[in-house]
């Protein structure tokens, strides 16, 4: 599985407020591991098709692993095919 840095909207109950997650004084490492080895092509196809589906993945942040998160490309992004 490959790692990919993407914009991810995550609803995690462990964070009291959004300010905790986006604290300007805290550097967070977020690792996303996809179950699908062809995740990039799938996300590209869904993006261009206007499909809002999300691909299952595992997310690790601050030493905590969150299983079965969902990821999609969204908004004004750039990426290499």
Domain ranges of the chain: 1-81
- 57 pLDDT band (50/70/90 cuts)? very high
Task: Say whether pLDDT at 79 is over 70.
Answer: no
9-56 pLDDT, tens per residue? 343 444 445 567 778 888 888 999 999 999 999 998 998 888 889 999
Q: What are phi and psi of 20, to 5 degrees?
A: -65, -40
- pLDDT tops 50 at residue 2: no
d(CA 18, CA 43): 26
């Amino acid at each position: 599985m490959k790692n990919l840095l993407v914009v991810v909207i995550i609803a995690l109950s462990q964070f009291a407020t959004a300010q905790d997650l986006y604290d300007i004084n805290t550097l967070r490492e977020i690792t996303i591991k996809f179950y699908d080895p062809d995740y990039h092509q799938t996300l590209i196809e869904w993006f261009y098709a206007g499909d809002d589906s999300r691909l299952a993945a595992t997310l690790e942040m601050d030493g905590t692993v969150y299983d079965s998160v969902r990821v999609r490309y969204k908004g004004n992004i750039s990426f290499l095919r």
